[in-house]
Amino acid sequence: MGITVTQTLLLLLTAAGFLISFYFTGVYYGYLKSNVWWIPAFCRMEQHSCQSILQTPEARVFGVPNFVLGLLFYGALVIVILGDSGGFLFDIVVATALFTVILAGYLVYALRVRLKIDCILCYTAHGINTLIAAILIIKKYDIL
């Protein structure tokens, strides 16, 4: 049995989310610089650096950096996509995905209103998580 279109789409979104979380992890811990040539221009911020955003309390909602939790989430998602498509882990990942959408609302508010920063990469990650949640819900409840 091959990989379905839905699995392929989820894997692509998961890979993109993982790479963003991996990038943020590297910047946060000082392994990567946010202004190197191979980082797309839209990721470079004029007034604020990635490091300044990643140091805010909002970047650590549960004490652990959000992007580190993202790495764990995307890892679990790969396991679910390739294996456990209806078991207990699937239900946990669906619930986590829904929570990321709710959390995204708060984090976007924090970026735009409280911090007054536009972080395209942050918004992209939130969009990816929203798409992942939607696809998982459709899969779970066999909506389409």
Q: What is the pLDDT of residues 98-108, one digit of tens each?
A: 999 999 999 99
Nearest to 13 by CA among 139, 144, 123, 133: 133
Question: Candidates 3.30.390.50, 1.20.1440.130, 3.40.50.300, 3.40.50.20; correct CATH number of 5-140?
Answer: 1.20.1440.130
Looking at residue 113, what DSSP letter applies?
I
pLDDT, tens digit (0-9, with 9 covering 90-100), for 44-95 = 655 556 777 888 999 998 899 999 999 999 999 999 999 866 788 899 999 9
Alpha carbon 53 to chain centroid distance?
15
> Cα torsion at 130, 136, 138, 144 (round to 10°)?
110
Interval 108-116 mean pLDDT: 91
